């Protein structure tokens, strides 16, 4: 009986000495987990503009509409080349040829050729809009203004987001009589931007805020600097979630 009583005494002691299971949240015993979500912003001047432009043509036959559209598009491409746009900066977005089965134009054919143009000389974007419109482009949308090296441009936003999270955690800790002892986890919440504005097409013409709609009437002579254009700045917002471990101060 004495041996049995000794065994019964030792077993609870052994159970108490076993290592505790680690906390899945990453905190140690006596620590408090605090999760903070914060945002950071940065302003960068865009160095790249993208325009969606092209031509639509109509004719009594499929071949006639296609031929007319090719001739117009060749003039538009030549105007872009004269501005220094390289072939790699032109990408076809849409090619279409369709028969019109409604209205007064029923039985005719409409051809379209839409491209995206990448412009890196921001000083000539307004000039490019004027040049392609005069060359015959009647579909025009954009520009979409971008920063080519977004990671470098957004570094200050990432840093600001983390600093904001840490500052808020310190405020909570001070109010609760706690102090930050370490960072448990950092989760990138991603970047938030502005969607690409699609071109507005009305029949064979397209309208955008800073372009003159193509009409049958000859447009007035453009100013020497071309269509007014101001690149402004792009604002980027990033979000971050940070888990802090706190302990009594």
Per residue in 109-168, pLDDT (tens digit) is 999 999 999 998 888 888 999 999 999 999 898 888 888 888 888 888 999 999 999 999
Question: Which domains, from first to last, does the chain contain?
Answer: 23-45+149-206+235-249 (3.30.110.170), 46-146 (3.30.70.2970)
Residues 204-220: what's their mean pLDDT?
31
Question: What is the model's pLDDT at position 192?
Answer: 64
In this predicted structure, the answer to whether residue 223 has a pLDDT above a threshold of 60 is no
Element (H, E) at 174: helix 155-176
Q: In Å, how far are 10, 27, 29, 30 from 17, measured between CA atoms? A: 11, 20, 15, 18
Q: Between 244 and 207, whose confidence is greater? A: 244
CA distance 216 to 210: 19
- The predicted pLDDT at position 102 comes to 87
Phi, psi of 231, rounded to the nearest 5 degrees:
-70, -25
Residue 14 in 3-state DSSP?
helix
What confidence score (pLDDT) does residue 6 get?
A: 42
pLDDT value of position 173: 95
The Cα–Cα gap between 210 and 133 comes to: 12
Is 248's pLDDT higher than 70?
A: yes
Dihedrals phi, psi of 70, to nearest 5 degrees: -65, -40
> What's the pLDDT tens digit per position in 4-36?
444 444 445 444 555 567 777 878 888 999 999
pTM: 0.58
Higher pLDDT, 11 or 78: 78
Confidence at residue 193, expressed as pLDDT on a 0 to 100 scale: 52
pLDDT attached to residue 19: 58
Of the given ranges (55-64, 146-155, 175-184, 225-234), which has the lowest mean pLDDT?
225-234
165 in Cβ contact with 37 (< 8 Å): yes
pLDDT attached to residue 52: 93
């Amino acid at each position: 009986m004495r041996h049995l009583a000794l065994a019964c005494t030792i077993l609870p002691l052994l159970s108490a000495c076993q290592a505790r299971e680690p906390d899945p949240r990453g905190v140690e015993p006596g620590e408090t987990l605090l999760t903070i979500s914060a945002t950071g912003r940065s302003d960068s001047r865009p160095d790249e503009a993208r325009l969606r432009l092209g031509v639509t043509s109509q004719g009594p036959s499929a071949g006639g509409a296609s031929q007319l559209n090719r001739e117009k598009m060749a003039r538009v491409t030549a105007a872009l080349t004269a501005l220094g746009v390289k072939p790699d900066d032109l990408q076809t977005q849409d090619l279409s040829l369709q028969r019109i089965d409604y209205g007064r134009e029923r039985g005719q054919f409409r051809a379209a050729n839409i491209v995206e143009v990448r412009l890196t000389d921001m000083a000539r974007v307004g000039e490019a809009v004027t040049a392609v419109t005069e060359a015959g482009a009647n579909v025009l949308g954009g520009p979409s203004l971008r920063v080519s090296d977004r990671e470098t441009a957004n570094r200050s936003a990432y840093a600001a987001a983390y600093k904001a999270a840490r500052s808020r955690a310190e405020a909570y800790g001070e109010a609760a009589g706690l102090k930050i002892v370490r960072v448990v986890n950092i989760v990138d919440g991603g970047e938030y931007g502005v969607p690409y504005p699609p071109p507005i097409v009305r029949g064979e013409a397209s309208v955008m805020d800073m372009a003159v709609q193509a009409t049958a009437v000859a447009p007035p002579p453009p100013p020497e600097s071309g269509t007014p254009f101001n690149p402004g700045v792009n604002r980027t917002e990033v979000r971050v979630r940070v888990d802090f471990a706190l302990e009594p101060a």
